[in-house]
Amino acid sequence: MPSIFTRIIQGELPGRFVWRDERAVALLTIAPLRPGHTLVVPVEEVDHWLDCDPELMSHLTTVAHKVGQAVQEAFSPKKVGLMIAGLEVAHTHLHLVPIDGLHDLDFSNADANPDPAAMDAAAEKLRAALRAAGHPEAVQST
How many Å apart are CA 115 and CA 136, to the nearest integer?
28
Q: Where are the alpha helices (DSSP H) in 10-115?
A: 54-75
With 80 as the cut, is the pLDDT of residue 141 above it?
A: no
Read off the pLDDT of each residue in 54-77 and give the average, rounded to a whole number.
98
* Side-chain-side CA neighbours of residue 94 (13 Å): 27
Domains and CATH numbers, the chain: 4-132 (3.30.428.10)
- Residue 87: its pLDDT value, please? 87
* Interval 75-88: pLDDT, tens: 999 999 999 998 88
* Cβ–Cβ < 8 Å for 110, 83: no
* Interval 18-38: pLDDT, tens: 999 999 999 999 999 999 999
Question: Who has greater pLDDT, 140 or 121?
Answer: 121
* Interval 125-135: pLDDT, tens: 999 999 999 99
Read off the pLDDT of each residue in 71-98 and give the average, rounded to a whole number.
96
Give the confidence band of 142 by pLDDT, cuts at 50, 70, 90.
Answer: low
Read off the pLDDT of each residue in 6-13 and give the average, rounded to a whole number.
97
Q: Where are the alpha helices (DSSP H) in the chain?
A: 4-9, 54-75, 116-132
